[in-house]
Amino acid sequence: MLSSLFVERLKRSGIGLEVDRLDLAETPATPLDAMATAAMYLNEAERTPQMKTALAASDALVDRVLKADLLVFGIPMHNFGMPAVFKAFVDNIVRSGRTFDVGPSGVVGHLAGKRAVMLLATGGSYRPGGAFEGMDCLTPHLKAVFGFVGLADADVIHAQPLQFSGPEEKAAAIERARAETAALSDAWASDLAS
Ligand SMILES: Cc1cc2nc3c(=O)[nH]c(=O)nc-3n(C[C@H](O)[C@H](O)[C@H](O)COP(=O)(O)O)c2cc1C
């Protein structure tokens, strides 16, 4: 809901958006198998034809991500972290030589310069004093892994609590998250138009 709101609003702002939508619930990323992982440690020229085949889906996902100027992620929390299918997506796109390199001066993330937002949905409240304070492993994980590939400045909106609370708290959380999402979308539109 939040990612649709964000993108539809950005589209309506008239900045001329072309949307490449990937719904991992409909088209799940494949978890890396032994062949794909082995292939990742080798240069393109060293890979066997089977290794290239094993990496084809990952290469295609990396191409899609690299082609995008803006990245909008909608991510629910599953068991205090990211859903397995989103982790599989991350494993497919965090690729040495493609989305990051490690050089003499450290890690260089190739997604730097892109703009990104993470729209998070959690059943519980992770705010100070909330029932699940200190148990949010999703936000730090996303910050670490996307920071690693160059998206350290990604915006984050966290809708909470959406499930483990009363109907009033849920309604208020949705309203708050929708307002924050609309405001952020408008801020992006205004930056991108200038
Ligand atoms: C398998 C599963 C595990 C979940 N684990 C957690 C959790 O650890 N913490 C939490 O706050 N919410 C958890 N939830 C609740 C979801 O994060 C919450 O309902 C969220 O709104 C789902 O987003 P969606 O409505 O976009 O699917 C879980 C939901 C599912 C289906």
Q: What is the CATH number of the domain that holds 182?
A: 3.40.50.360
What confidence score (pLDDT) does residue 2 get? 98
Q: Is 173 in the pocket of ligand 1 (CB under 6 A)?
A: no
Å from CA of 76 to ligand 1 middle: 6
pLDDT band at 137 (very low <50, low <70, confident <90, very high): very high
What confidence score (pLDDT) does residue 131 get? 84
Q: Is 161 in the pocket of ligand 1 (CB under 6 A)?
A: no
Q: What range does the domain containing 46 cover?
A: 2-193
Predicted confidence (pLDDT) per residue in 40-62, tens digit: 999 999 999 999 999 999 999 99
Residues 17-56 as b or e (16 or more Cβ within 10 Å = b): eeeeeeebeeeebeebeebbebbbeeeeeebeeebeebbe
Number of domain units in the chain: 1
Q: What is the mean pLDDT of residues 147-154?
A: 98
pLDDT band at 157 (very low <50, low <70, confident <90, very high): very high
Please give the number of the atom of ligand 1 that sits closest to the Cα of 132: 11
> For residue 111, is pLDDT > 90?
yes
E runs forming strands in the chain: 70-76, 100-103, 106-109, 115-121, 155-159
The full DSSP string for 112-146 is TT-EEEEEEE-SS--STTSTTTT---HHHHHHHHH
Q: What is the mean pLDDT of residues 69-89?
A: 98
What confidence score (pLDDT) does residue 130 get? 84
What confidence score (pLDDT) does residue 35 get? 97
Please give the number of the atom of ligand 1 that sits closest to the Cα of 77: 17
Predicted confidence (pLDDT) per residue in 159-187, tens digit: 999 999 999 999 999 999 999 999 999 99
Of residues 38 and 131, the one with the higher pLDDT is 38
